[in-house]
Amino acid sequence: MSASATQRTTPQPPAAPSERIAALDVLRGVAILGTLATNIWIFTDPGGFLGYLLEDTASTTPAGWAAVEALLQQLSQGKFLGLLTLLFGIGLEIQRRSALRAGRRWPGRYTVRAALLFLDGVVHYLLVVEFDVLMGYAVTGAVVAYLLATSERAQRAWMLAAAGVHVLLLGLGTAALTAAPAPPAPGGIEPNPYADGSWWDLVLLRVDAAVLFRIEPVFIQALSVALFLLGARLLRAGALAPVGAALRRRLLVVGTVALPVDLALGVFGGPAGLVLARYGTAPLVALGLLALVVEVVGRRERPGAVGRRLAEVGRMALSGYVLQNVVASALCYGWGLGLASRLDPAVRVPATVALYVVVVAVVVAFAHLWLRRFARGPVEWLWNASYRALTRAR
């Protein structure tokens, strides 16, 4: 089938798609700050990301605080990652519709955008944190951009196929973890580059342990494709528009039913339950979260102070994502203040919550002050400038 034929069979944008979707920036802000709610526990782990993966801080945490930590971690675990993935798919569909309105072929030069996002991810991974999501999203976006040029029926088939592959992989991974022997007693990581090493030592660690640190984006590649396509499908179905109230109610039901199952799996299910929750039930909770935010925003004539601050973070989501990781690293790692290794285990949980509040305050204040003077965040400005330069050269 030719490109022109596939574009004719793809759902076209509605008559008046140019108005900005009010809830979208708020959703992005919620997703960005929500991912920090998961990652902040990695930053405050004395062993950094390696410690978070290989050790068990609950063994040195007072029982009461350990229960609080387990609940707080599970409330955010995977939900905001799922929401962010859906939003990337929504954003991709918005770009497709914009291109067709302007008379441009799709996906056109989107591969340049994907390459730039991948480069951003490489830099972010090497220089800032091991758990970068941008590289994975760049690869998924490049694939899904071409899928969005096919018919609605073909997209649905690809989405279901990708979801099926993910369910199979998730089942195999959960079974392997269930059958695995009990892990050895936790011990400190020696040497510990997060506490005692320099910033350059962490860069070298990310190079040396790239296979371990980059395995998650590979494992969830099929899930990401399915959620990207689902996000695009939800946008076309009006899930973010006033006409989508009935659809949002169904999404809320899905999220409400999935949440207690997710919490039970993550808190009481051990490593296998945690994996099953993060990559299985959490994306379903994310659907309910998306619907909830859209409903709350849609019922207000004007956003309140919290909504405006979240929208500002969402308008410069890429900058906010990088900034929160830089600030948290500087506070927690040895090349900065080194707070993670200095925290008494008895106060690590409340201190982690306090650090989260501090980092959120920095990101929100920066977004507010920056957008009072500039239209884009600094990373977004650099990204767009690079894209314009590359496309002009081509």
Mind giving me the DSSP string for 311-378? HHHHHTHHHHHHHHHHHHHHHHSTTTT-HHHHS-GGGHHHHHHHHHHHHHHHHHHHHHHHHTT-SS-H
Report residue 105 as tokens.
């072929």
15: which DSSP letter? S
Q: What is the average pLDDT score of the chain?
A: 90
Is 50 exceeded by the pLDDT of residue 155?
Answer: yes
User: What is the torsional sign of CA 137, 138, 142, 143?
Assistant: negative
CB 285 within 8 A of CB 262: yes
Q: What is the pLDDT of residue 298?
A: 87
Reference 41, options 25, 57, 26; nearest CA is 57
In terms of pTM, does the model score above 0.85?
yes
CB 112 within 8 A of CB 386: no
Domains of the chain, residue spans: 20-393
Query: In this predicted model, what pLDDT tens digit does every residue of 77-90 receive, in sequence order?
Result: 999 999 999 999 99
Alpha-carbon Rg for the chain, nearest whole angstrom, is: 21
Q: ∠ at Cα 174 (181, 161), nearest 5°?
A: 155
Query: In this predicted model, what pLDDT tens digit does every residue of 204-234 receive, in sequence order?
Result: 999 999 999 999 999 999 999 999 999 999 9
Question: How many C-beta atoms lie closer than 10 Å to residue 196's C-beta?
Answer: 13
Query: In this predicted model, what pLDDT tens digit does every residue of 364-390 receive, in sequence order?
Result: 999 999 999 999 999 999 988 998 888
Q: What is the pLDDT of residue 311?
A: 95
387: which DSSP letter? H
Query: In this predicted model, what pLDDT tens digit does every residue of 276-309 receive, in sequence order?
Result: 999 999 999 999 999 999 999 988 878 889 999 9
Q: DSSP readout, 158-172?
A: HHHHHHHHHHHHHHH
User: What is the torsional sign of CA 38, 174, 130, 227?
Assistant: negative
- Give CA–CA dist 161/217, Å, rounded: 18
Residue written as tokens 């090349």?
335
